[in-house]
Amino acid sequence: MSINWVELVAAFGGGLFGAAIGALPAFIFTGFAVLAGTAAALAGSHFDFLGSIAFGPVFGPHISFAGGVAAAAFAARRDKLSGGKDIATALAGLGDPAVLVVGGLFGAGGYLIQKVLGAYIGGLTDTVALTVVLSAVAARVLFGKAGVFGKLSPEAAKRGRFTPGGNEVWAPWQQEWLQLAVLGLGIGLMSAWIAQAVTAADPKLAGAGGVIGFGISAVSLLFLQFGVKVPVTHHVTLIAALAASTSGSLLVGAVFGLLAAFVGEFASRLMLIHGDTHIDPPANAIWFMTLVVLLLSHTGIL
């Protein structure tokens, strides 16, 4: 494991930027960077835009998004933000430099955590997604009051932890099982096909093809930022593409996209909706489903 100290300093800037513009807008920029990086790769660029920019210390979700999440939790703890789960507000508008510095510190921390995870379990799961989750858990422990798995309100206790309702919801337009299944299967098919089409054209571009769907999903959240009820699907598209590339089957990719959709919803009910800070359901689904796909691949099942 090697730490690039220049990148570590840059990660502080990336985390601070994520806090300044808000975690969700920062992730939307990740989507644009992913699409720009895939376009550069397809055009034959020798610069690793995907690794250095989209998933590096500038827009890597474990840095910019995670920094924004932690800063929102800190701002809420200081009563500068209405709720720690607010990942859409640009925190520079609060006029509190300490909030931005927290974002920078978590950005740098995310860089270090991912480096350690990559060195030891990089072949087992998506260490960027796992870092996003671990960073968010740390932010909740440090700045939240509801505990890692949240605290059920009296109404939620009557419904049960895994039955959303009232204010205890994630994305209510995609939480019903049939709706979720249709979205997971259909959008999984789209991303799986893109990954296979790119790989078929040039196997050396398989890595770029595998994240095009993810980039499209991330960019689509621009509409969510402005209140349009678009589905949150980057966990679906990333896992569907991975499963399709690993198995060589479009259908397998679609099925794993469907499974990722359900895992994301389960994660929202387990760690997000009853909490007072944001622990990202898609990131939870990505690291877990990547682990499943890779284990099945290593055992020869996929």
> pLDDT, tens digit, for every residue of 142-177?
999 999 999 998 998 999 899 999 889 999 999 999
- Say how far apart CA 197 and CA 193 lie, in whole Å: 6
* pLDDT score for 49: 96
* pLDDT score for 217: 98
Residue-wise pLDDT for 8-47, tens only, equals: 999 999 999 999 999 999 999 999 999 999 999 999 999 9
Average pLDDT of the chain is 96
Q: Please state, in angstroms and as integers, the Cα–Cα distance from residue 7 to each residue in 21, 61, 62, 112, 163, following that order.
A: 21, 15, 13, 10, 42
Residue-wise pLDDT for 77-121, tens only, equals: 999 999 999 999 999 999 999 999 999 999 999 999 999 999 999
CB-based burial of residue 255 (10 Å sphere; 0-12 exposed, 13-18 middle, 19+ buried)? buried
- Cα within 13 Å of Cα(228), Cβ side: 6
**Predicted model pTM:** 0.96
Task: Give the pLDDT band (50/70/90) at residue 282.
Answer: very high
> With 80 as the cut, is the pLDDT of residue 1 above it?
no
Q: Which domain holds residue 50?
A: 5-298
- Our count of domains for the chain comes to 1
* pLDDT score for 302: 87
